Structure 1
Amino acid sequence: MITALRLTNLSLLILFPIAWFAPLMRAGLLPLFGLSEISIVSGLQSLWDTDVALALLVTFLAIFAPYMKVIGLALIQFGMMRRKVLPALEWLGKLAMADVFLIALYIVIVKGAGHVTVETGWGLYLFTFCVLASLAISHLTRKR
């Protein structure tokens, strides 16, 4: 069981970066004008030009928090860090989940706007899977 947890956790080191560049959604003004794909990275690039404080927050929530959690869990699982750190790592995972809720909220708000077309992309599902898998791995690691 511990080997499966370790491998699953280490696989997140590959899956998270894929999720950051994968299309979270396709959005555009009416479907006639075509839809542009938006990923976490492209969204962050746009945010840096308009709102630096929000860009810093989203960068921490979407990139640093989940990755630090995965690395911290790996260090615990391989006996290189004390288990006392686990509650802090679980807290980081919850912060990353907040990012998924923000993205979902933006999609719902924009869809209600009327003249804008928004379609969810596979990257949203991958990012959500990565965050939920990380939460499950930390919970199962705590039980060991």
Structure 2
Amino acid sequence: MTIRLLTLSLLVLYPVAWFAPLMHAGLLPIFGLSEISVITGLQSLWGSDVILALVVTTFAIFAPYLKTIGLALVQWNLLDPRAQPVLHILGKLAMADVFLIALYITLAKGIGYVTIEVAWGLYMFTGCILSSITLGLISEKRRG
């Protein structure tokens, strides 16, 4: 029962993580720092590069949320457990987004004119994804 509740809690925590600040970024520390979240990043991408926006939306929003919904359905016996391999793939796609964010932060820090500070939302978003993967593995072992 606890695993089910933890899985359902992710359905609330993911939207919080999407709006939470991933980082504070700015051009030189003199000009102040802007908060960047998953949602503000996506809004910016939709205005400049629709293809990349679709990819990031898939990785950051749809993949982790669909994986969590699927996992909850399996745990409540509303979806066949044979769907779990697909759910694992969705979890891995979500981790790709965390990797990309970390890569962008590393690249931007290498540019001398940009200041970036990691914010708590990046840790929350990463924690949600890792928790979802872990809960999926635990759920699969209990069924197996």
Q: Give the deviation of 1:55 after TM superposition.
A: 0.1
One-letter code of the match for 1:87?
Answer: P
Displacement of 1:114: 0.7
TM-score, scaled relative to structure 1? 0.98
User: Which residues of 2 match residues 16-95 of structure 1 at below 5 A?
Assistant: 16-95=14-93
Alignment-mate amino acid for residue 33 of structure 2: L
Q: CA deviation at 1:4?
A: 1.2
- After superposition, the C-alpha distances for 1:8-32 in whole angstroms (9 at most, x for unaligned) are 1000000000000000000001111
Structure 1 gap ranges (5+): none
Distance 1:116 1:81 in 2: 47
Q: What SS does the aligned partner of 2:117 have?
A: strand
**Percent identity between the two aligned chains:** 62
> What SS does the corresponding residue of 1:24 show, helix, strand or coil?
strand
Deviation at 1:141, TM superposition (A): 0.7
Aligned CA-pair RMSD: 0.4
Q: Give aligned pairs, total.
A: 142
Residue equivalent to 2:132: 134
SS at match of 1:114: coil
1:61-96: CA deviation from partner (whole Å, max 9, x where unpaired): 000000000100010000001000001001100000
- Structure 2: gaps spanning 5 or more residues: none
